[in-house]
Amino acid sequence: MFTFQTNPLNRHGHNRHTSQFIRRCLQQANTRFLPVIRQSILSIEDADGKMQPLLLKQGELESVISNIETKHLIYLGEMEQQHYFTFRLKSKALVEGFAAVARHNNVVLTDLRQLFKHLSPNQAHLCNVAVALEHWHNTHQYCGVCGHATYATQSGFVRTCSNPQCETEHFPRTDSAVICAITHQDRLLLGRQKNWPEHLYSVIAGFVEPGETLEQAVAREAYEETGLPLSNIQYYQSQPWPFPQSLMVGFTAEANHDTVKLLDKELEHARWFTREEVRRESENGKLVLPFKYSISRTLVNQWLNTD
């Protein structure tokens, strides 16, 4: 199972916007707070290099950040009878203060890509939600209607325009993207972009455009990138992917022929692989497959394991 597939959080969407509910959450002694800044999470690294998110009590957070108001907190949800909030740090300089609170000499800001390989499924899900919401707040500081500054409301799930003549409410957005394992006569198509690490190949992916169905986006992206018309496009699974704010919708499909033409030049190279070639070249380092926690790797693995 690839990452972010669990759903442990009760997000309390029906009442998280009420001050009474948030007040009750803050009054509970086991409520915890997760500081984040620009897709990095405050974490503790032990002597073996293993990392865990630094979950703080309210008093510990307030000992470093003064004058915390509820509008500064984003409610993540309840998991195993414990409520979680995230707090958006304004400066990386605050890390030293949190190290003193944690009484640990290796408190660091860790990119989620590096952190989640150390996490349990529930922890990974929690950090995923925190990072995705933090990114949305960072990129929606101003109203897209009138240009005035926005401010967080409803426990961090709405940003409201500060202009009294506008007051437009803005809600979190997720970009839909499709990703597809394309096969032809028992071979899998893998491609690579020029700026990727050496030998890294993956399945075909791209963003959904306005007015498209997911299946139409799969067919368009495949043709633009490889010149291949597709048939038998089938939904596989999906994965929330907070880098920065995507929902990866996975598919499988069959190419009508095997002549690859890199029409839009987005890919540097693409080729067909047999199962034996994938196994052999990944073992000898000539082929690097996608990160094992990603849906792209899962699509490759499910094809490898169907022989």
Q: Is the pLDDT of residue 76 over 90?
A: yes
- Compute φ and ψ for 258, nearest 5 degrees: -115, 15
Residue 70 has a pLDDT of 84
The Cα 165–Cα 153 span in angstroms is 18
* Residue extents of the structural domains in the chain: 19-139, 175-304
pLDDT at 2: 59
Is residue 217 predicted with pLDDT exceeding 90? yes
Question: Average pLDDT, stretch 83-112?
Answer: 88
DSSP per-residue string spanning 87-147: EE-S-GGGHHHHHHHHT-S-EEEEEHHHHGGGS-HHHHHHHHHHHHHHHHHHT-SB-TTT-
pLDDT at 121: 85
CATH architecture of 19-139: Alpha-Beta Complex (3.90)
Whether the domain at 19-139 and the domain at 175-304 fall into the same CATH topology: yes
pLDDT, tens only, 221-266: 999 999 999 999 999 999 998 887 899 999 999 999 999 999 999 9
Q: How confident is the model at residue 3 (pLDDT cuts 50, 70, 90)?
A: low
- Superfamily covering domain 175-304: Nucleoside Triphosphate Pyrophosphohydrolase (3.90.79.10)
Residue 214 has pLDDT above 70, yes or no: yes
Q: What is the pTM of this model?
A: 0.87
How does pLDDT run across 35-69, given as a tens digit for each residue?
A: 999 889 999 988 888 899 999 999 999 999 988 88
